[in-house]
Amino acid sequence: MGSRRDFVHKLTVSAVGLPVLGYSTSLENYLPTFNSAAQLRVAIMGLGGYGTRVANAMESCKRAKLVGVISGTPSKIKTWQSKYGIPEKNCYNYENFDKIKDNPDIDAVYVITPNGLHHDQVIRVARAGKHVICEKPMAINAAEGEEMVKACKDAGVNLLVGYRMHFEPRTLEVVNMRRNGEFGKIMFFQGLSGFTIGNPDQWRLDKKLAGGGAMMDIGIYSINGARYMVGEEPIWVTAQETKNDPVKFKEGVDETIQFQLGFPSGAVASCLSTYAMNYLDRFFLNGKDGFAEMQPSTGYGPIEGRTNKGPLTAPIVTHQTVQMDAMAGIILNGEKPPIPVDGEEGVKDLKIIDAIYEAVKINGRVIL
What pLDDT is recorded for position 34? Answer: 62
Provide the residue count of the chain.
368
3-state helix, strand, coil in the chain (%, to 5): 40, 20, 40
* Confidence label for 218 from pLDDT (cuts 50, 70 and 90): very high
Find the catalytic residue in 50, 92, 110, 136: 136
CATH number (3.40.50.720, 3.40.50.300, 3.90.50.10, 2.40.430.10) of 31-163 reads 3.40.50.720
**Structural domain boundaries in the chain:** 31-163, 169-316+342-367
Q: Under 8 Å CB-to-CB from 198, ≥6 apart: which residues? A: 1, 2, 3, 6
CA atoms within 13 A on the CB side of 147: 13
H/E segment holding residue 345: helix 343-362
Summarize the confidence of residues 101-107 as an average pLDDT.
98
Sign for the pseudo-dihedral over CA of 322, 325, 330, 336: negative
**d(Cα 105, Cα 354) in Å, to the nearest integer?**
38
CATH no. of 169-316+342-367? 3.30.360.10
Residues 66, 58: contact at Cβ < 8 Å? yes
pLDDT at 28 over 80: no
Peptide bond into 315 cis (omega under 30): no
Asked if 333 and 37 count as a contact pair (C-beta separation under 8 A), the reply is no
Q: Of 110, 207, 223, whose CA–CA distance to 158 is shortest?
A: 110
Asked if 51 contacts 112 with a C-beta cutoff of 8 angstroms, the reply is yes
Looking at residue 11, its pLDDT comes to 44
Catalytic residue from among 50, 110, 221, 228: 221
The lowest-confidence range among 1-5, 142-146, 162-166, 322-326 is: 1-5
- The per-residue pLDDT for 2 is 52
Is residue 221 among the annotated active site residues? yes
Mean pLDDT of the chain: 93
84 is catalytic: no
273 CB contacts (<8 Å, ≥6 apart)?
Answer: 193, 194, 214, 215, 218, 219, 222, 254, 256, 257, 258, 259
- pLDDT at 43 exceeding the cut of 80: yes
Confidence of residue 33 (pLDDT cuts 50, 70, 90): low
User: Model confidence over 78-98: pLDDT tens digits?
Assistant: 999 999 999 999 999 999 999
Q: What is the predicted pLDDT for the residue at 18?
A: 33
The pLDDT value recorded for residue 301 is: 81
Average pLDDT of the segment spanning 263-269: 99
Give the global pTM.
0.92
Q: What value does the mean pLDDT take over residues 114-138? A: 98
Burial 93-124 (b: 16+ CB within 10 A, else e): ebeebeebeebeebbbbbbbbbbbbbbebbbb
Are residues 72 and 47 in contact, defined by beta-carbon separation less than 8 angstroms?
no
Cα angle 209-211-216, degrees, rounded to a multiple of 5: 115
- pLDDT over 90 at 259, yes or no: yes
Summarised one tens digit per residue, pLDDT across range 348-363 is 999 999 999 999 999 9
**Lowest mean pLDDT: which of 7-16, 22-31, 312-321, 358-367?**
7-16
Helical spans, DSSP H, in 188-231: 207-210, 219-230
In this model, does residue 66 exceed pLDDT 90? Answer: yes
What is the Rg, in whole angstroms, of the alpha carbon atoms belonging to the chain? 20
With pLDDT > 70 as the criterion, what percentage of the chain qualifies?
90
